[in-house]
Amino acid sequence: MKNLKKVRRKKPGGRKVTIRQTWQYHLLMLPGILVVFIYTIIPFFGNVMAFQDFQPILGFFRSRWVGLANFKRVLHMPDAARIFRNSLQIAVGKLVFSMLLSIFFAVLLNEIRHGGFKKIIQTICFLPHFLSWVILATIFRNLLDVNGIVNQLLTSIGMIKEPIMFLGSNDLFQGVLILTDVWKGFGYGAIIFLAALMGISPELYEAADIDGAGRFAKIWHITLPGIRTTVVLVGTLNIANILNAGFDQVYNLYSPIVYRSGDIIDTYVYRMSFLSAQYSLATAIGLMKSVISFVLIVTAHSLAKKFANYRIF
């Protein structure tokens, strides 16, 4: 019985580590394990609804089993291609522009030499990340309204003659989603690049000064190459989120008039579940997204290992 309690891993000195010696660490892990089990593992079994004609009154065990019928129905739905395309377009736009602006901001912030001013700018740009989309959506609705400040400003300087419905135009809605999300998150996203910039040796800049290199030359030849591995790592890991277009933002900003361009997988699943009560169909769509996301996660980690020498497992 004692042998069963022993962990085969050994300390550097060769002495075996037993659970009796490390039970405090396991006890500290217990709350986190319980939270994951309750909110992740147990709800996972709800995916069985994707293979049933689920009826709440019958429950999981008495609802009729239909196999892959719900998945076939999803693939033949006229809305399926649209919601997957919208999710992909919005998510890719957010990831690309957010990453580019985060790198640009990190490089600019790194060039500021006045410590107090640098902290002020950093705090101001980090702050939007901690604001809820419920609050920000109300602000943006007022700003982008037909009678809002943006339309009034554009009209006063002669750029437009008629007010623009930014949140009511299928041609503009995706752009609004991408720009507002980038504005909200670029400051916080720059943290990892700022950390990478701290790891560049000051001696490289000193040598560049001796050679007569200017500020832009040092950025191009020292700063950007110095964070290249981090950029590749972040870019490859972001592949896993390629279908997460941001439910909170879209749900708080969209309306039926822009479903054609703004409806994504998560909002569609929400409406199918809670408004139309088509639980099996909604679960099938969500499960398809999860499978695709899992494949992308595996691909992202393979690419990160290959190009950035980064491994989690």
Running DSSP on this structure, what letter comes out for residue 15? Answer: P
pLDDT of residue 249: 92
What does the block give as tokens for 65?
């089993």
Domain boundary among 52, 67, 82: 67
| 18 and 46 assigned to the same domain | yes
| 145 and 246 assigned to the same domain | yes
Count Cβ atoms within 10 A of the Cβ of residue 270 and give its class: 0-12 exposed, 13-18 middle, 19 or more buried.
Answer: middle
Q: Is residue 120 part of a domain?
A: yes
Output helix, strand, coil percentages for the chain, rounded to the nearest 5.
75, 5, 25
Q: Is residue 2 part of a domain?
A: no
Q: Which residue range forms the structural domain that includes residue 183?
A: 71-308
The 8 Å CB, 24+ separation contacts for 221-226 are 223/107, 223/110, 223/197, 224/107, 226/196, 226/197, 226/199, 226/200
pLDDT of residue 11: 47
Q: Is residue 313 part of a domain?
A: no
pLDDT of residue 200: 87
Q: What is the pTM of this model?
A: 0.82
pLDDT of residue 2: 46
| 114 and 62 assigned to the same domain | no
| 55 and 144 assigned to the same domain | no
pLDDT of residue 136: 93
Q: Is residue 259 part of a domain?
A: yes
Cα–Cα distance, 133 to 11 (Å, whole number): 48
Q: Is residue 1 part of a domain?
A: no
Q: Which has the closest alpha carbon to 102: 237, 235, 217, 213?
A: 235
Cα–Cα distance, 135 to 290 (Å, whole number): 29
| 87 and 228 assigned to the same domain | yes
Q: Is residue 274 part of a domain?
A: yes
| 57 and 82 assigned to the same domain | no
Cβ atoms of 260 and 82 within 8 Å: the answer is yes
pLDDT of residue 310: 66
| 48 and 188 assigned to the same domain | no
| 106 and 165 assigned to the same domain | yes
CATH number of the domain within which 136 lies: 1.10.3720.10
Please give the helix or strand (H or E) that residue 311 lies within, else none.
none
| 63 and 75 assigned to the same domain | no
| 263 and 187 assigned to the same domain | yes
Q: How many domains does the chain have?
A: 2
Domain boundary among 67, 95, 112: 67
Q: Which has the closest alpha carbon to 66: 80, 74, 55, 54?
A: 54
Q: pLDDT averaged over consecutive 10-residue blocks of the chain (313 residues)?
A: 46 65 87 90 87 86 88 87 91 92 91 83 89 92 90 87 88 93 91 88 86 85 87 81 86 90 90 86 89 84 73 61
| 31 and 48 assigned to the same domain | yes
| 23 and 79 assigned to the same domain | no
Q: How far is CA 180 from CA 30, 107, 124, 228, in A?
A: 39, 22, 16, 27
Q: Is residue 199 part of a domain?
A: yes
Q: Is residue 167 part of a domain?
A: yes
Cα–Cα distance, 195 to 103 (Å, whole number): 11
Domain boundary among 32, 49, 67: 67
pLDDT of residue 5: 45
Amino acid at 3: N
185 alpha carbon, distance to own chain's centre: 10
